[in-house]
Homo-oligomer: A and B are copies of this chain.
Amino acid sequence: MPELRQDPITLRWVTIATERAKRPTAFTRTAKAAVAPSAECPFDEGHESMTPPETMAYRAPGTAPNTPGWEFRVVPNLYPAFGPADAAPEVKVVGPYTTMRGSGVHEVLIDSPDHYRDIADFDVAKVDQIIRGYLDRYQAAASNPFVQYVLLIINHGREAGASLEHPHSQLFGIPLVPEAVAEELRGVARFQREHGSCPYCRMLTYEREAGERLIFENDSFLVFAPFASRTPFESWIVPGWHSARFEALADGQRRSFAEALHVLLARLKRGLNDPPYNFYIHTAPAREAAEEYHWHAELLPKLAIAAGFELGTGIMINVATPESAAEFLRGVDEHAAPAQAAAGAASHA
Contacts and interface: CB of A to CB of B under 8 A. Distances in A.
Interface of A: 4-18, 20-21, 23, 26-27, 29-31, 81, 95-97, 149, 151, 153-155, 158-162, 170, 172, 174, 178-181, 183-184, 187-188, 191, 195, 199-200, 202-203, 206, 210, 226-230, 232, 275-276, 278-282, 298, 300, 302-309, 311-322
A198 B154 CA distance: 40
22 contacts: A7-B226, A8-B199, A8-B202, A9-B187, A11-B187, A12-B315, A14-B228, A14-B230, A15-B315, A16-B229, A29-B275, A31-B158, A95-B210, A96-B199, A97-B227, A151-B309, A155-B308, A161-B306, A172-B313, A183-B314, A280-B309, A280-B311
A278 B312 CA distance: 9
Number of copies: 2
Nearest to A23: B319
Contacts of A200: 9
Contacts of A191: 8-9
Contact of A314 (B178, B227, B318): B178
Nearest to A157: B29
Q: Which of A81, A191, A229, A308 has the most CB of B within 10 A?
A: A308
B321 A16 contact: yes
Given A10-B184, A159-B31, A187-B8, A308 B278 contact: yes
Nearest to A97: B227
A323 B63 CA distance: 48
Contacts of A230: 14
A306 to B, nearest CB: 6
A30 B305 contact: yes
Contact of A313 (B178, B203, B321): B178
A302 B9 CA distance: 23
B227 A7 contact: yes
A29 to B, nearest CB: 6
A184 to B, nearest CB: 5
Contact of A161 (B27, B155, B305, B319): B305
Given A149-B313, A180-B314, A278-B308, 5 more contacts: A7-B227, A30-B302, A96-B195, A96-B199, A280-B311
